Chain A
Amino acid sequence: MSWSLGEIGALSTKAARGCGMDWGLADEAGYAVKWLQRRQLPGIAALCRYLSWRQTGEITAWPDVTGDQGHYCPIATGAAYGDGLFGDEVEFSRMRTPLLLIPFIALRAGITPIAISLETLVFSLSQDGFAYSGNDTAILTAASHCRISTKIDHMPPLTRISDTDLPRVPETAAACVTVLNSFAKNTYAPATEASRLAGAGAGLSDND
């Protein structure tokens, strides 16, 4: 059992919407998860953790000058970064599930490579690929300070992805899929007897 990337992207969008994100941002969540899973990074786990936290967590909006309350949403902040709202050098205190920010930084990692420092972890992105230092547990860190910079001392060996080799989302993601499905459910209207018939225009027999 495995899932296609398209399936997981669509599920991620619905789950984000089900957690209250506006449609345009929910689409960005789908983009981010697909980008990560395409590179066999745990995007679905990251979104699962972020949306679960978001049920009760306090989100702050940029620019936050209030001190130490709340966390930045990696999807909204990432989308704004992708829109070009921030310059090449920018820092965010308290970025929630910062792995979800990486796909948006990648949008601007063209000719100039970009490094993202997440306390114990550094992500490097260029048009050729990506790399990160640190272990697989660290990339799913719940929250951290985040510094984005084009000043790179040392470019580590990059992982490249091929156009033709599309990974699946493996069985190990089943628990995350279940959680995202529970969030996605918030976007579905409960059926009533009237809607069951009228909503789809049934009633006429199709037993032809």
Chain B
Amino acid sequence: MKTSDLKNGASGTSTAANKAIPLRPAAQIMTLARIGSFHQSRLSFMRVLLRRLKAENWQFKRSRWNIDQHGVGVATYEAIGPERSYTLVAFAHDLPAEKRSDRVIAEAWDATFTLHDGVISDLDIQRLQQNVPLQEAGRISDGEFVLSRANRSVRLFDYVRDCLAAGTQPNPDKIEPIGYLMRTTAVYGSGKFGAADRDIWANRPEFSGSFQPELLAVWLIRSFTIDIVEHMAAAKSPETAVKLNPDIRRRIGVGNSTGLGMAPFLINHPSLIHAWINARETALARVRALGASDQAGLDRFLTMVAKAAKNANEWTTDSPYQRAKTEGLRDDLVRLDGFVRTLDASINQPWDQIYRWGEANLSLEGQEQLVSLLLEDHGPLIDDLAAGMAADEAAHFRIDGSMRLGELRRMMGSIYGWTNRIDYARNDALARVWYVSEEKLEPRLGERFEEPIEPYEQPLAPGRDAVLAMQAIDQWIRQDSTSGDDTVAMFLLKHPEHRHIVRRTQTVFALPYAEIQDNTISAEMQPIDLLRCKLSFFGASKFDPRSDRWLRITMYQGAPFPDELSQLDPDILFYPPLGHNSAPSQSTV
């Protein structure tokens, strides 16, 4: 993609009478604090998936339920599309309470899953039974796309089971703040642990975009979590047990605990991150460029603000960092509601006016919530952008060695100009080291000046590395007046230690949203900002940081289940339904 494409994205929808709206500049967007405030939107991958499944009239069936009264066995769920079918295979285990241990050292789970390509045979189930329950210690094949596992919520699972067993429905007030019966601790895809390479399914239209097989698996896992709690209730009290009421059931999603394993992804996939954020920014610019709305349009927007306020009120966390942000968001939404009520629906470019008011008056958390809300009512205008939220990363791999070194230096100075505000001579600018632990083979974050971990440092500090490369290039060019005409290939032969940042520079130069313009190894850096950004693109909600480096989230809370997808609009359901007294001006702040 060339930079000129960016401008076209926004201007294509504005008329001559309207002011063209440029995309928000990368320097404004690509800070950790801003991307760590992103919210789910119409372009989030869970919503893209459910829109497609509904539009293509996919059918779903639970094709096996061989689970005993102790909750042990196997179940399969088929998703049947116009061209292909997929099967979620769920292995249910009887996990002793003492083994339902902390995420970081877990080796056994309440349930383990894989997404199989096609309708599965008993023979394949036997093969998977030997491997899927072992997770990282097992092997799956190119017939599988996803490997995952989940534990029961000790806060909610037994409570819901006992309610249903007694013939009563669980209290929605108990469900809402937790939002799941089971919590996944990993959802692996793309060739991991023997799964199919991404290239095998990348050209299948049902998986266009990002993370579609993984999120299909999670959506089907959600059905399993309901089925297993209803099954356990019936096992406990077959005479009195009832099924979950559909409206209560819909407020149950799938939990997820995510740690640093996900954090390097945003840094390691710059062209993909650009594609995601560029789509979102283009969508915002298209909506802001719209010339006029009407009172009904403003009223629909106010309804979305009220739903977002309800969501914010139900968003609980023990994290002081997130709690302050969420409290600010609640206040922001009250004031946003007040501002929009003062607007005359006939003004020109009302959405742009609302956006600009928000930028001047709201916290980052509130501004990014506003961006998501502005997109909600404009599906026909923006939903096509979801198809572009993928990247051919291999296309960016090759280095242009014929480039003159002086030109590379100018590119680096332009892209990494933001490093001028960082003093890398100070220890606190270099305080952290990203490394991989031998014990879990997962990314971790350590203290450079307190632990002996620097030899294991992963290349996840592009700003620091660019500064070092620019110093080396400057020294090279100073040797004589023509050495700026030397090629990048000549420089890299002598300086292979700069090869990765040179490749990155050439990759991100034409992709303004590819690079986070912040110090990813500083003492002040909040790793959860990286996680939050990625998870918001997945479609997660209720981010609940449990420390500065891992958090819990809820996925698919409110979304339709397979048996109701044909009757319900999934996009309406990703915010909580409004009850009485739910306008933000009346909510508790």
Which of A76, A84, A185, A208 neighbours the largest number of chain B CB atoms within 10 Å of its CB?
A: A208
Contacts of B548 in A (CB 8 A): 201
Chain A residue at minimal CB-CB distance from B552: A208
Chain A residue at minimal CB-CB distance from B442: A200
Q: What are the interface flags for B343-359 relative to A under an 8 Å C-beta threshold, 1 for contact and 0 otherwise?
A: 00000000000000000
Whether A189 pairs with B197 at a CB distance below 8 angstroms is no
Bound: A194/B451 CA distance, A:
9
Whether B446 pairs with A189 at a CB distance below 8 angstroms is yes
Contacts of B435 in A (CB 8 A): 188-189, 199
Q: What are the interface flags for B192-213 relative to A under an 8 Å C-beta threshold, 1 for contact and 0 otherwise?
A: 1111111110000000000000
Bound: A205/B445 CA distance, A:
19
Contacts of A198 in B (CB 8 A): 446
Bound: A41/B548 CA distance, A:
45
Q: What are the interface flags for A10-47 relative to B under an 8 Å C-beta threshold, 1 for contact and 0 otherwise?
A: 00000000000111110110010000000000000000
Whether A200 pairs with B183 at a CB distance below 8 angstroms is no
Q: Is A168 in contact with chain B by the CB < 8 A criterion?
A: yes
Contact-residue size bin, chain A (C-beta under 8 Å from the other chain): 35 or more
Whether B399 pairs with A188 at a CB distance below 8 angstroms is no
Please tell me which stretch of B21-29, B158-166, B377-385, B485-493 contacts chain A, meaning at least 4 of its Cβ atoms lie within 8 angstroms of it: B485-493
Whether A189 pairs with B102 at a CB distance below 8 angstroms is no
Q: Is B293 in contact with chain A by the CB < 8 A criterion?
A: no
Q: Is B141 in contact with chain A by the CB < 8 A criterion?
A: yes
Q: Is B472 in contact with chain A by the CB < 8 A criterion?
A: no
Q: With A195-B446, A196-B439 in contact, is A27–B142 under 8 Å at CB? A: no
Q: With A84-B489, A189-B444 in contact, is A202–B192 under 8 Å at CB? A: no
Contact-residue size bin, chain B (C-beta under 8 Å from the other chain): 35 or more
Q: Is B579 in contact with chain A by the CB < 8 A criterion?
A: no
Q: Is A153 in contact with chain B by the CB < 8 A criterion?
A: no
Whether A200 pairs with B500 at a CB distance below 8 angstroms is no
Looking at the assembled complex, report how far the CB atom of B263 sits from the nearest CB atom of chain A, in whole angstroms: 10
Contacts of A64 in B (CB 8 A): none
Q: With A191-B438, A208-B153 in contact, is A202–B102 under 8 Å at CB? A: yes
Bound: A196/B103 CA distance, A:
12
Whether A206 pairs with B192 at a CB distance below 8 angstroms is no
Selected from B398, B437, B552, the residue in CB contact (under 8 A) with A199 is: B437
Q: Is B315 in contact with chain A by the CB < 8 A criterion?
A: no
Q: With A7-B192, A189-B437 in contact, is A206–B497 under 8 Å at CB? A: no
Contacts of B502 in A (CB 8 A): 24
Whether B197 pairs with A4 at a CB distance below 8 angstroms is yes
Looking at the assembled complex, report how far the CB atom of B395 sits from the nearest CB atom of chain A, in whole angstroms: 13
Q: With A79-B499, A82-B398 in contact, is A202–B438 under 8 Å at CB? A: no
Looking at the assembled complex, report how far the CB atom of B416 sits from the nearest CB atom of chain A, in whole angstroms: 17
Bound: A189/B439 CA distance, A:
8
Contacts of A187 in B (CB 8 A): 436, 456
Whether B438 pairs with A22 at a CB distance below 8 angstroms is no
Which of B153, B155, B401, B497 neighbours the largest number of chain A CB atoms within 10 Å of its CB?
A: B401
Selected from B101, B442, B496, B501, the residue in CB contact (under 8 A) with A76 is: B496
Whether B499 pairs with A24 at a CB distance below 8 angstroms is yes
Contacts of A23 in B (CB 8 A): 459, 499-500
Chain B residue at minimal CB-CB distance from A188: B438
Which of A83, A192, A202 neighbours the largest number of chain B CB atoms within 10 Å of its CB?
A: A83
Contacts of B139 in A (CB 8 A): 1
Contacts of B552 in A (CB 8 A): 206, 208
Bound: A61/B492 CA distance, A:
12
Q: Is A203 in contact with chain B by the CB < 8 A criterion?
A: yes
Q: With A22-B499, A24-B500 in contact, is A6–B492 under 8 Å at CB? A: no
Looking at the assembled complex, report how far the CB atom of B129 sits from the nearest CB atom of chain A, in whole angstroms: 16
Contacts of B501 in A (CB 8 A): 24
Q: With A24-B496, A79-B492 in contact, is A85–B401 under 8 Å at CB? A: yes
Whether B500 pairs with A201 at a CB distance below 8 angstroms is no
Q: Is B154 in contact with chain A by the CB < 8 A criterion?
A: yes
Looking at the assembled complex, report how far the CB atom of A144 sits from the nearest CB atom of chain B, in whole angstroms: 22
Q: Is A53 in contact with chain B by the CB < 8 A criterion?
A: no
Contacts of A76 in B (CB 8 A): 493, 496
Whether B102 pairs with A206 at a CB distance below 8 angstroms is yes
Q: Is A56 in contact with chain B by the CB < 8 A criterion?
A: no
Contacts of A62 in B (CB 8 A): 493
For chain A, residues 164 to 198, give those with C-beta under 8 angstroms from any C-beta of chain B: 164, 166, 168, 185, 187-192, 194-196, 198
Binding site for B on A (CB under 8 A): 1-7, 21-25, 27-28, 31, 61-62, 76, 79-80, 82-85, 107, 164, 166, 168, 185, 187-192, 194-196, 198-208
10 A–B pairs (Cβ distance < 8 Å), ordered by A: A3-B194, A22-B500, A24-B498, A79-B399, A80-B493, A82-B399, A188-B436, A199-B444, A202-B550, A207-B154
Binding site for A on B (CB under 8 A): 100-105, 139, 141-142, 151, 153-155, 178, 183, 185, 190-200, 255, 257, 259-260, 397-399, 401-402, 435-442, 444-446, 451, 453, 456, 459, 487-490, 492-493, 496-503, 527, 546-550, 552
Closest A-B pairs by Cβ, 3 of them: A24-B499, A83-B401, A201-B549
Please give 16 more A-B residue pairs, beta carbons under 8 A apart, in addition to A7-B191, A80-B401: A4-B142, A61-B493, A76-B496, A80-B493, A83-B488, A83-B489, A185-B438, A188-B437, A191-B437, A192-B451, A201-B260, A202-B259, A202-B550, A206-B102, A206-B103, A207-B154
